């Protein structure tokens, strides 16, 4: 299959997520990394390009130089899509310039620093011939796709209750004061915008909406900064209202000391419910009224087409984070190549805009005496 020529903005030395993107893009063979501006420090960008065995002339000192120079190359040589893996404050500028010059975009979440910027991107995308994907990773897990399929099939009846929690413990101390690169930018409001609610709360909200098929309409939120001196929230929780009358609870905290990354989702309808945990992501628990609990595992029989397409190995051979990330990259590639089916879905501009609307509603609710706050897209 013809490979998509991929560029990257950000993701140089010391970047956690840049390496994840490159591994995910490479896993199914749909992409070839041909260029990059890997850091705002040109020397860092050059070193990163050397380590990735890229041609020196295709390694750039800034995202502007990358996009303008690549746009000037012959059509058969220039990159076709660009992955933007910078801190949040450097999403909007590169995305808008990439779309202006005809490049497809894969961008980390949250989409931008503000809902206004997200809407500007949505408008620019509509005016272009390009496509855009947002890496809400958890939507790529096979058993999350199975959960989505079962809810949509009506197996549980009308959805009544949704619980989503995302506990982390890595920011339980002031790592930002110890020259910790990831902590430093994620706790700087000028670089990250919101804290826990933007970093992991958007993942939680997206997962709840993705599986349930219901939009969150209103939040009643509390945002806290637990670690003394921290400039952003590191702990968030909210009561949720969904379309159709369902209610829910969301927890997103980075100060749950001892926790790693155990996202947990529970969805309940009139007839039964489901449960999924990141700690055992290859399993989906189905609980129907009056029946024994059933456990379905990725790679086993009886699963939906979407779950099957998102699975690479037979049952009993665990797949995880990189594979889920790669499912987003692969679905995006198949869409660009015109080979995607209805079961090859990926988060796009709508998800990115809703993520920013969620963040802003959470912040407004946490500072408002009225509390219940509508998500305004």
Kindly report, residue by residue over 293-351, the tens digit of the pLDDT.
Answer: 999 999 999 999 999 999 999 999 999 999 999 999 999 999 999 999 999 999 999 99
Distance of alpha carbon 201 from alpha carbon 172, whole angstroms: 17
- 14 and 55 belong to one structural domain: yes
- 168 and 43 belong to one structural domain: no
Q: Kindly report the CATH number assigned to the domain that includes residue 232.
A: 3.30.360.10
Average pLDDT over residues 242-261: 97
195 found inside a domain: yes
Q: Kindly report the CATH number assigned to the domain that includes residue 92.
A: 3.40.50.720
* Domain count along the chain: 2
Distance of alpha carbon 346 from alpha carbon 136, whole angstroms: 8
- 168 and 251 belong to one structural domain: yes
Contacts of range 231-235, beta carbons closer than 8 Å, 24 or more positions apart: 231/187, 231/188, 231/189, 232/186, 232/187, 232/188, 232/189, 232/192, 232/194, 232/195, 232/196, 233/194, 233/195, 233/196, 233/197, 233/366, 234/171, 234/187, 234/195, 234/196, 235/196
pLDDT at 2: 86
- 256 and 306 belong to one structural domain: yes
- 48 and 196 belong to one structural domain: no
333 found inside a domain: no
pTM of the prediction? 0.96
Average pLDDT over residues 223-228: 98
Per-residue pLDDT reduced to its tens digit, 157-169: 999 999 999 999 9
268 found inside a domain: yes
pLDDT at 1: 66
pLDDT at 13: 87
Boundaries of domain holding 99: 4-130
158 found inside a domain: yes
331 found inside a domain: no
- 286 and 192 belong to one structural domain: yes
284 found inside a domain: yes
337 found inside a domain: no
């Amino acid at each position: 299959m013809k490979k998509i020529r991929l560029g990257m903005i950000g993701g140089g030395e010391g970047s956690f997520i840049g390496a994840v993107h490159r591994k995910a893009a490479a896993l199914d063979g749909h992409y070839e990394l041909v260029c990059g501006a890997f850091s705002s420090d040109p020397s860092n960008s050059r070193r990163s390009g050397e380590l990735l065995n890229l041609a020196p002339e295709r390694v750039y000192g800034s995202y502007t130089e990358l996009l303008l120079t690549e746009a000037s190359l012959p059509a058969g040589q220039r990159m076709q899509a660009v992955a933007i893996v910078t801190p949040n404050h450097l999403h909007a500028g590169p995305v808008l310039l990439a779309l202006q010059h005809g490049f497809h975009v894969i961008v980390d979440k949250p989409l931008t620093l503000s809902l206004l910027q997200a809407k500007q991107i949505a408008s620019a995308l509509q005016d272009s011939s390009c496509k855009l994907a947002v890496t809400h990773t958890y939507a790529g897990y096979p058993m999350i796709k199975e959960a989505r399929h079962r809810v949509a099939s009506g197996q549980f009846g009308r959805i009544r209750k949704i619980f989503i929690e995302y506990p982390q413990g890595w920011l339980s101390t002031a790592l930002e004061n110890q020259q910790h690169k990831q902590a430093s930018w994620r706790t700087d409001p000028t670089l990250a915008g919101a804290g826990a609610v933007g970093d992991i709360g958007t993942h939680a909200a997206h997962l709840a909406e993705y599986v349930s098929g219901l939009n969150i309409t209103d939040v009643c939120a509390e945002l806290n900064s637990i670690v003394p001196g921290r400039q952003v929230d590191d702990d968030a929780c909210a009561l949720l209202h969904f379309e159709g009358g369902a209610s829910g609870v969301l927890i997103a905290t980075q100060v749950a000391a001892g926790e790693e990354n155990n996202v947990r989702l529970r969805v309940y309808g009139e007839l039964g419910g489901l449960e999924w945990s990141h700690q055992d992501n290859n399993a989906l628990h189905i609980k129907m009224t009056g029946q024994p609990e059933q456990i379905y595992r990725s790679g086993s029989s009886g699963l939906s087409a979407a779950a099957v397409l998102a699975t690479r190995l037979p049952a009993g051979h665990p797949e995880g984070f990189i594979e889920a990330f790669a499912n987003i990259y692969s679905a995006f590639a198949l869409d660009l190549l015109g080979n995607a089916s209805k079961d090859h879905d990926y988060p796009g501009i709508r998800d990115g805009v809703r993520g920013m609307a969620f963040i802003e509603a959470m912040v407004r609710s946490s500072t408002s005496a009225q509390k219940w706050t509508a998500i305004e897209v």
